[in-house]
Each structure stands twice: as C-alpha cells, then as structure tokens.
Structure 1
Amino acid sequence: MATLTVPPVLTSPADDAMQLYRAFKGLGCDTAAVINILAHRDATQRSLIQQEYQKIYSEDLLKRLISELTGKLETAVLLWMHDPAGRDAIVVRQAFTPSVNLQAATEVICSRTPTQIQVFKQHYYSRFGTHLEHDVESHTSGDHKKLLLAYVTMPRYEGMEVDRATVEMDAKALFKAGEKRLGTDEKTFIRIFSERSRAHMAAVSAAYYNMYGNSLKKAVKKETSGFFELGLLTIVRCAENPTKYFAKVLHKAMRGLGTDDTTLIRVIVTRTEIDMQYIKAEYLKKYRKTLNDAVHSETSGHYRAFLLALLGPNH
C-alpha cells in the first residue's frame, strides 16, 4: 500500500503548473509551496504538470527545479518527478556513473519483479541509448556480474504456485554447492537464484532450514562475499518479505553516525507509491520506533519536510 496522500479535490495540472511558477518567481523560491504540490501528486499527475508547465511557459519543469532547489532536497524531488520505471532506470544509471554505487544498482535490480525489470530495461534503453546488460557488463565483475546479468535476462514465473519436489531438489543442490563442500560452487547459486520465482525461493529458504537446521541467508553469508553476497541476500529477502527487507535497508541508512542520504532518498522515493505503508509497519515492529520519527531525527529543513510528506501520517 502506498503512503502518498493526494487531496480529495484536486486542482488541475495547469493550475498546479501556475502555482509552481509563482513559487519560483521573485527573490528566492517558495520551497514549502513546491513541496506542498509535488509531494501530494501521483505519477500520472506529476507527468501532466510537467506537460502543462512546458506548454504554458515553454520551459522544462525539471530544469527549473534544478535551478531553484539545492542539495538533498533537489536530489529527492527530481527523482520523485519520474514514474517508477523511469526512476529505477535513473538510479541504476547513476549507480554506474563515475562514483560507482554498486549497492544501489544491486538493490534495485535484485529487489524488482521480472515485470518491473522488463519495463525499466525499456526505459533504460530509450533514455540512455544503451542496454542495461551492456552497463552491467562494463561496471561489474566476477560472480556479481554473472548474477546480475542472469537476473535481468531470465524470465521468471510471478505466481504463487510452487512445486515441492523442485523446492527440495534446489535446497539440496544449494547445500551441496555451499556448506557441504570445500569452497563454493557459485554457478549453482547463480542458476537457482536467478531462475526461480519469489514464491519458490521463499519455499527453498524454508526447506533449507528444515532440512539442515541452518538458514539459507546464513549459508549465503558464509559462502559468498561482497556485492555477490549482497545480490543473493537481496533476492532471498525480497522473496520472503520485501517490505521487511526495505525496512532493514532504511534502518541501516540511519544507523550510527551520519546518515546515508542516497539510500534514504532512493528507498523512500521509490517505495512511496508501492508498499511504503507496509514498510512503515515492519519498521515499527522491528525497531520499536516509527519510520517518520527516525527520518525526523536524521534530517532537517525542507528536505525533512519533503520526505515526511511522502511518508504520510506518523503511525
């Protein structure tokens, strides 16, 4: 469930465009007004506002936002202005640019459903003129590269049906490929993790525990490392419970000294219109604190106001 709150009576996209223009005019930008409009419009409405703004003022709204906003707020608002698939494409592309952020690329690729991956691959190509696979090939290496390439090219079943016999076979194969032997047979891990549906992987994880008294996640941590490990863990955690996975990512981003704002922005902006309500519930259950309170204590100013607007009421 989304946490986005849209007013019951909406102004027209043209009116929104005019209000934004007014907020930009004069000395300094009326940032509160900008947040008040954009943080309460869904993907379709944001797209229509951009079209109207271009039509009325012959100016690209995104370019105007870049010149009016700064810092973390600018990053968050600009990412928010795109639809989910466009955003995924942008996040992954940025993750592959000079300041390579393989964590972000791995998280987005390995936490998305096959349908989401297909759509964002199309966006990626039309926006950047290059195939996602090509960039994965150029910027990653070793087993991590093999896993990501398999994951973005394999068609996977998205239903809930599971074949018990195959589940047990996969659990055995993973045990033999990892904990049972010296060294690790990474090929088997890549094959099973990239070819199986989420429901199947969740069942394999449960079967693995029942058969060997050890969790599949622990086995992955023991047998693999680095971004390859991160990719495998993301796949299995999202198979079991994607909202719990994202609650954990958010908690980690705000833990300790300093905040990992890149991760905070990425997760809040990309999940607001999908399942943020459930992520908030998982966060509260696991960390005994509302996500809103955690974000409030780690951020400030208009940046804080924008993120909290996306998160909706504090509960």
Structure 2
Amino acid sequence: MGTKILTSSGHGFENECREIHDSWGRLNHLVPSMAGWSKLEKQQIRKTYRAMYGEDMAALLQKMQSQNGSKVCAALYRWMVDTHERDAIVAREAFGQGDVNYRALVEIFVGRKSSHVSLIKQAYYARFRRHLDQEIINLEPPHPYQKILVALATSHKAHQEDVSQHIAKCDARRLYEAGEGSSRGAIEEAVVLEILSKRSIPQMKLTLSSYKHIYGHEFTKSLKNAKYMEFEDALKVVMKCMCTPPYLLRKGTVCGY
C-alpha cells in the first residue's frame, strides 16, 4: 500500500483494510501507509474496515495506546479521527487526573469556529457521556481560567451575529473604564466576563483593535502591572491567543495540529 493516494470514487479499499488488519503489530509499517491518506480516504477506509471486521480502526488504536502507552498509537489515533473528535479527546485529556490544562481548553474555545465548537461538544458527549460546558463549570477548586472559559462557552451561542464597529468601540471603552481607567487598582472581572460571554471571537478581535486605536496601546499592556493577580494573568493569555493564535503554540500548550 505504501503512501499511494487513492482517488477512485469506486475504490472499495478492501485491500488496504486487509493490509492494515495484518499490520497491527508493526506500527513502523502502519505509519507510512496511513500518512498519505486524505480526510475522505480516512473516512472511507475506516468505514470499510468496520464493515469487514466489525471493529473501528480508531477504537483499536486507542485500545493499543492504553495497553502499551505507545505515543505512536496515540498520534495515529488522533490523526485518524475527525478534527472535532480530536478536540473532544484533547478537551477530556485537559481535565487530567490532577492539574487542569486550562490553556488547551482556551485554545479550543478561542481558536475554533462556532460551528466546530458545537461539533466538539456533541462529540464530547457522544464519547464520554458528559457535557463539556458542565465539566468546566464543575471544576474544583475554582480558577480564573474557569470563569473565562464559562464566558467563552456561552459566547458561542451568539457567534452568528454580524461584527459591529460601534459595539467594538463601546466595548473598548468599557474595558478601559473597568481596567486602567478605574481607580480600583485591579480590573473589574464582572465587566470583562460579561463582554466575553456576549461577543463572538471576531467581534472581540475588533474590540481589541479599537482599544489599541483609541488608547494607543494593546489592552494586554494595561495588565502588565498585575502579573501577580491570577485573573489578569489568565485574561492576558486568552487575549493574546485570541489575537495571535500561534501564541499558545509557542508556549507549548496547543492541541497539536
């Protein structure tokens, strides 16, 4: 099979499935064989394999990974499933057994389209029989990232609304008055969370752009003196990820596409 590309719509993929079935104990052989598949080919081969052997290829890879801790199996498994399934798996793993990987969860809610987030939530429930939003709400002990994630999860309900320059300017002003324009010495969490819960990511990007245009610097600059305050620190990461998605990649916390 090698790395050939299968292009015929009438191709049944039976030969490929037989070769895969006979190669489970030789991962070095599987990797180059699977590397050349397109998304459609992966779906068709996965379907054909299930029809021929009554098993799901992705489930087999996951089982092998859990049995021997193989990183190769884990990588192949994530590569085999659809992107929204992959994100659902990453989200589940982010909760972990101890410290929560909040930055991985942030990337999912900030870096994915609303339609994709909806598919992630569906895949999460289908696979783990839990609601992703509720998982975040129930996290203990409470954490600043948790508050922001709850707001971001809520905001995806309104992501079909048109982006508005007027709203962006108004929100930029509210952010200023709740932060560096306030005499409190710390940003007003309630104001920020309200804005995050009601605005789409594109709308928030325009708000942050308006903030820089009106006040001469980025919103995150107003948080630099509060680096020891947990909410401001978490907010700074979220805003940077929102404006420059590669930010989390550079921090080594991205989901890994």
Q: Is 1:39–2:43 an aligned residue pair? A: no
CA 1:144–1:34: 2 relative to 1, 3 Å: same
d(CA) in 2 for partners of 1:121 and 1:249? 22
**Which residue pairs with 1:267 in the alignment?**
256
Q: Deviations over 1:205-248 (max 9, x none)?
A: 1221122222112234545755774466435543x4xxx522x3
**Which residue pairs with 1:210 in the alignment?**
213
**Which residue pairs with 1:163 in the alignment?**
164
Q: What letter corresponds to residue 44 of structure 2 in structure 1?
A: L
Q: Give the 5 Å matches for 1:98-109.
A: 98-99=97-98, 100-109=100-109
SS of equivalent to 2:251: helix
**Which residue pairs with 2:5 in the alignment?**
7
Identical pairs, percent: 25
d(CA) in 1 for partners of 2:74 and 2:190? 38
Q: What letter corresponds to residue 110 of structure 1 in structure 2?
A: V
**Unaligned regions of 5+ residues in structure 1, if any?**
254-262, 269-315
d(CA) in 2 for partners of 1:36 and 1:189? 48
**Which residue pairs with 1:274 in the alignment?**
none
Q: Are the equivalent residues in 1 in contact too, given 2:107–2:248 (CA < 8 A)?
A: no
**Which residue pairs with 1:137 in the alignment?**
137
d(CA) in 2 for partners of 1:228 and 1:267? 26
d(CA) in 2 for partners of 1:201 and 1:87? 26
CA 1:171–1:146: 2 relative to 1, 3 Å: same
CA 1:8–1:200: 2 relative to 1, 3 Å: same
Normalising by structure 1, we get a TM-score of: 0.67
Q: Are the equivalent residues in 1 in contact too, given 2:226–2:232 (CA < 8 A)?
A: no
d(CA) in 1 for partners of 2:22 and 2:30? 10
d(CA) in 2 for partners of 1:145 and 1:12? 47
Shift of 1:177: 0.7
Q: Deviations over 1:174-196 (max 9, x none)?
A: 01111122222011111212322
Q: Are the equivalent residues in 2 in contact too, given 1:113–1:158 (CA < 8 A)?
A: no
Q: Give the 5 Å matches for 1:277-296.
A: none
Q: Deviations over 1:27-61 (max 9, x none)?
A: x5052x31223222233432332232233234442
SS of equivalent to 1:19: helix
**Unaligned regions of 5+ residues in structure 2, if any?**
none
Q: Is 1:50–2:54 an aligned residue pair? A: no
**Which residue pairs with 1:74 in the alignment?**
73
**Which residue pairs with 1:29 in the alignment?**
26
Q: What letter corresponds to residue 198 of structure 1 in structure 2?
A: I
d(CA) in 2 for partners of 1:196 and 1:6? 45
**Which residue pairs with 1:86 in the alignment?**
85
Q: Are the equivalent residues in 1 in contact too, given 2:64–2:70 (CA < 8 A)?
A: no
Q: Are the equivalent residues in 2 in contact too, given 1:109–1:117 (CA < 8 A)?
A: yes
Q: Are the equivalent residues in 2 in contact too, given 1:179–1:223 (CA < 8 A)?
A: no
Shift of 1:143: 3.8
Q: Deviations over 1:148-182 (max 9, x none)?
A: 122212323346x5333222111111011111222
d(CA) in 2 for partners of 1:206 and 1:15? 54
**Which residue pairs with 1:271 in the alignment?**
none
Q: Give the 5 Å matches for 1:179-258.
A: 179-181=180-182, 182-223=185-226, 225-226=229-230, 229-230=233-234, 233-235=237-239, 237-238=241-242, 240=243, 244-246=244-246, 248-253=247-252
Normalising by structure 2, we get a TM-score of: 0.80
**Which residue pairs with 2:120 in the alignment?**
120
Q: Deviations over 1:57-107 (max 9, x none)?
A: 344423543438853222211111211111111111111131432222222
